[in-house]
Amino acid sequence: MRNVLLFIRRYRTFFAFLILQGVALWFLFSYNRFHRAKFLGVANEVTGVINSQYNKVEDYFTLREENKRVNRLNDSLLNLLPSHYGRRDTTVSAVQDSVPYDTLGHYRRYFSRPATVVYNTVNSQKNYIQLNRGANQGIKDNMAVLGSDGSAVGVVVNVSPNFSQAMSLLHVQHKVNASLKKSGNFGTVEWDGKDPRYLTLRGIPQSVEVNKGDTVLTSTYSFNFPPGHMVGYIDEVIKDKSTNFYVLKIRTAANFFNLQQVHVIENVERDEQWQLMQDTKNKIEQGKKAPK
């Protein structure tokens, strides 16, 4: 026993090294979308404060372009205002009805909240976007993040009281359901971790006609993203010989290099949809175990 203690004492730096390495590797491999280390919430608060200070300065450099994008989106929204039809004198602001149902039976499916990006990278293989809104401001996990021009950017994966962290589309573990605008075929958009300007769309069968320049939109099957928002344009069409599917290279619609203002979109019925899916799964599996 004494020898063991002596041995440990003699090599105590080496053991300390092993322990610290172990801790670091444990952090590294236990952190992913589904199993998150809790302390990141606290660290988020600290880095978030520094990031938002830095962001105040940085925002000035991209204001011109950002303004253009916001203006373009505002313009397209203004064109949709009911007051823009049939009246010469139009009011400037639209009144938001607080009742979720309107008289025609339309109900609200998605709710949008504005947010500012305080930190964002494109250089890593796992890029995250930090936003200046958190749980106290109504952000929850799995909300979709759209750019200021309405294009798909990411999904919220972690929230602290005042900040939230979204997984960018430029994240090798991120998969988003998307569809071709022209034919409506569904596929999965993912990133190969190489060029931040391009994404990959898989799962479109080769029987569908696909051309360079076709538009890719978020699909109606996604639980997180509202349908019909731009993901990108097809840049290159590759026919995969081993399967019957295309591998489509997509140029992203959102410019990840200068994200600034974003919209965080909440699917109001997500919990219900998710619950139904889980219940169905449970029901079917139980049915298998105890056949009637």
Partner 1 sequence: MSDLLRNIIRFAVFILVQVYILNKMPHLHRFITPYIYFLFILWLPFTISRFGLLVIGFVTGLTLDYFTMTPGLHAAACTLIAYVRPFVINVLTPKDSSEFNYREPSPKAMQWTPYAVYVFVLTLLHHGYMVFLEWLDVGNFLDFIIKVIATTGISLLLIFMVELLFPRQLKFRTNTA
Only segment of 120-128, 146-154, 181-189, 262-270 that touches partner 1 (CB under 8 A):
120-128
Q: Is 24 in the site for partner 1 (CB under 8 A)?
A: yes
- Contact criterion met (CB below 8 Å) for 264 and 113: yes
CA quadruple 32, 36, 41, 47: dihedral, nearest 10: -20
Binding mask 183-212 for partner 1 (x = CB under 8 A): ----------xxxx----------------
Q: Is 124 in the site for partner 1 (CB under 8 A)?
A: yes
Q: Is 175 in the site for partner 1 (CB under 8 A)?
A: no
Q: Which of 151, 96, 127, 169 is nearest to 263 (CA)?
A: 151
Which residue in 6, 10, 11, 26 binds partner 1 (CB under 8 A)?
26
The contacts of residue 26 (CB under 8 Å, 6+ apart) are none
Only segment of 11-19, 179-187, 204-212, 229-237 that touches partner 1 (CB under 8 A):
11-19
The contacts of residue 83 (CB under 8 Å, 6+ apart) are 90, 91, 94
Residue ranges in the chain assigned as alpha helix (H): 2-10, 12-30, 40-58, 63-78, 270-289
Identity of the residue, 28 or 104, whose beta carbon is nearer to partner 1 in the bound complex? 28
Rounded CA-CA distance 235/104 in Å is 41
Rounded CA-CA distance 225/231 in Å is 11
How many of the chain's residues bind partner 1 (CB under 8 A)? 36
Identity of the residue, 31 or 107, whose beta carbon is nearer to partner 1 in the bound complex? 31
Binding mask 132-171 for partner 1 (x = CB under 8 A): ---------------------------------x------
Identity of the residue, 59 or 269, whose beta carbon is nearer to partner 1 in the bound complex? 59
- Contact criterion met (CB below 8 Å) for 139 and 156: yes
Nearest distance from C-beta of residue 48 to partner 1, angstroms: 10
The contacts of residue 149 (CB under 8 Å, 6+ apart) are 69, 72, 73, 230, 253, 254
Nearest distance from C-beta of residue 236 to partner 1, angstroms: 17
The full length of the chain comes to: 292
Which residue in 8, 10, 11, 21 binds partner 1 (CB under 8 A)?
21
Nearest distance from C-beta of residue 73 to partner 1, angstroms: 25
**Helices 12-30 and 2-10, interaxial angle, to 10°?**
70
- Contact criterion met (CB below 8 Å) for 116 and 264: no
Identity of the residue, 55 or 179, whose beta carbon is nearer to partner 1 in the bound complex? 55
The conformation of residue 41, written as its DSSP 8-state character, comes to H
> What is the three-class DSSP state of 119?
strand
Which residue in 7, 31, 101, 107 binds partner 1 (CB under 8 A)?
31
Q: Which two tokens stand for residue 212?
A: 């360079």
Q: Is 119 in the site for partner 1 (CB under 8 A)?
A: yes
Q: Is 257 in the site for partner 1 (CB under 8 A)?
A: yes
Binding mask 44-63 for partner 1 (x = CB under 8 A): --xx---x--x---------
Which positions lie near partner 1, rule CB under 8 A? 12-14, 16-17, 20-21, 23-29, 31, 37, 40, 43, 46-47, 51, 54, 119, 121, 123-126, 128, 165, 172, 193-196, 257
